[in-house]
Amino acid sequence: MVAFRYVGVVAAAVVAAKARGAHAAWPELAEHLAAAVVARAAARPDVVVPVPAAPDRARDRDVDHADLLAGVVARRLSVPKLTPLVAAGGRPDPAAPSGAARRRLPARALPAVGSLGGRVLVVDDVLTTGATARTAAAALRGAGADGVDLAVLARAGHHPLG
């Protein structure tokens, strides 16, 4: 599920937040994503999991944008938000020219739970190649999720997901 295309004011808001720390639009964008999830969700998730930002990026920005979005979505759905665990090395660079780096995203970035069970909604801010989403879904299914869905604020380009 994609709330917006990564163009115009949405792309400008994402860039402003990530590059300049201008987060004023994010609560409203998060509400739009939550409303889109509620309106379009085929099956209600049991938990929401944000795709984690690289620790250094979250620290530098004072916020993990996917976590912010996931919190609003989880509250709107009245389901718990799980906190991802991130090991040293962080997440691949989202500016990588291909999906190769994203396909190497280790399963370590998602909740370390023995038996997750249920449906999981993965939330991220921008879908680029779709590789991070595919890797997250595989890791969560490996952790026992019965089903994995994706919700992103914006999609850049044309991808098989969303």
pLDDT of residue 135: 85
Residue 23 falls inside a structural domain:
yes
Residue 162 falls inside a structural domain:
no
Residue 12 falls inside a structural domain:
yes
Residue 64 falls inside a structural domain:
yes
Q: What is the pTM of this model?
A: 0.78
pLDDT digit string (tens) for 5-48?
Answer: 999 888 888 888 877 777 788 888 899 999 999 998 777 899 99
Q: At 35, which CATH number?
A: 3.40.50
pLDDT of residue 72: 93
The domain of 63 spans: 2-155
Residue 161 falls inside a structural domain:
no
Residue 81 falls inside a structural domain:
yes
Q: Which helix (H) or strand (E) holds 154?
A: strand 147-155
pLDDT of residue 154: 93
Structure tokens given for 6: 């990564």
Identify the segments of the chain with pLDDT beneath 50.
85-109, 111-114, 159-162
pLDDT of residue 58: 56
**Domains of the chain: total:** 1
Residue 18 falls inside a structural domain:
yes
Residue 160 falls inside a structural domain:
no
